[in-house]
């Protein structure tokens, strides 16, 4: 009777230990994936905001791409999305939850942006690579 109780206690402790080990193995991967997804989503929100601003500017000036200040619209997009803008070197930290630093570049031909995060495995986000900006005539 008493040894049966000890056996059950041992089995419960072993099961709890196995669950702890499984959790410890699963959790870091889950957090890594979560941080990557939130980083990518934030960069995508920046890109959508910027694209919307460019399209609004094109619509306002009749589609003259040369008259659009893309750099200014990118700064406005950063301010609107995150409340601040990248430094003089074009880099910004503290947005990526994985500790990465972002660098956003504007393509000189298509004027679309590409935001690279230097956190491990985060890479680049560029959604509208081959899509021209839309403007309403």
Which stretch in 7-15, 16-24, 39-47, 78-86 sits in contact with Zn ion by CB under 5 A?
39-47
Residue 126, phi then psi, degrees to nearest 5 = -150, 105
Distance of closest approach, residue 86 Cβ to Zn ion, in angstroms: 14
**Per-residue contact string for residues 82-121; x = within reach of Zn ion by CB under 5 A:** --------------x-x-x----------------x-x--
Give the phi and the psi of residue 102 in degrees, each rounded to 5.
-95, 150
- Residue 38 in contact with residue 97, Cβ under 8 Å? yes
Of the pair 73, 96, the CB lying nearest Zn ion is at: 96
Q: Does 39 help bind Zn ion (rule: CB under 5 A)?
A: yes
Taking the C-alpha atoms of residue 106 and residue 51, their distance in angstroms, rounded to an integer, is: 11
Told to check if 43 binds Zn ion by CB under 5 A, we report: no
Q: CB–CB of 35/120 below 8 Å? A: no
Contact indicator for 79, 96 with CB cutoff of 8 Å? no
Q: Which is nearer to Zn ion, 39 or 58 (CB)?
A: 39
Q: Which window, 23-31, 38-46, 53-61, 73-81, contacts Zn ion (CB under 5 A)?
A: 38-46
Which helix (H) or strand (E) is 78 found in, with range? helix 70-82
Which residue from 46, 47, 122, 133 is in contact with Zn ion, where contact means CB under 5 A?
122
């Amino acid at each position: 009777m008493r040894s049966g109780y000890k056996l059950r206690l041992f089995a419960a402790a072993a099961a709890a230990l196995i669950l702890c080990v499984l959790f410890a193995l699963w959790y870091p991967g889950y957090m890594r994936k979560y941080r990557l997804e939130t980083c990518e989503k934030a960069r995508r929100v920046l890109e959508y905001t910027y694209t919307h601003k460019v399209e609004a500017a094109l619509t306002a000036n009749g589609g003259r791409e040369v008259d659009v200040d893309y750099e200014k619209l990118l700064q406005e997009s950063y301010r609107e999305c995150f409340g601040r803008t990248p430094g003089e070197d074009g880099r910004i930290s503290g947005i990526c939850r994985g500790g990465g630093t972002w660098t956003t570049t504007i393509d000189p031909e298509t004027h679309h942006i590409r935001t690279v995060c230097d956190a491990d495995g985060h890479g680049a986000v560029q959604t509208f690579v081959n899509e021209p900006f839309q403007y309403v005539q």
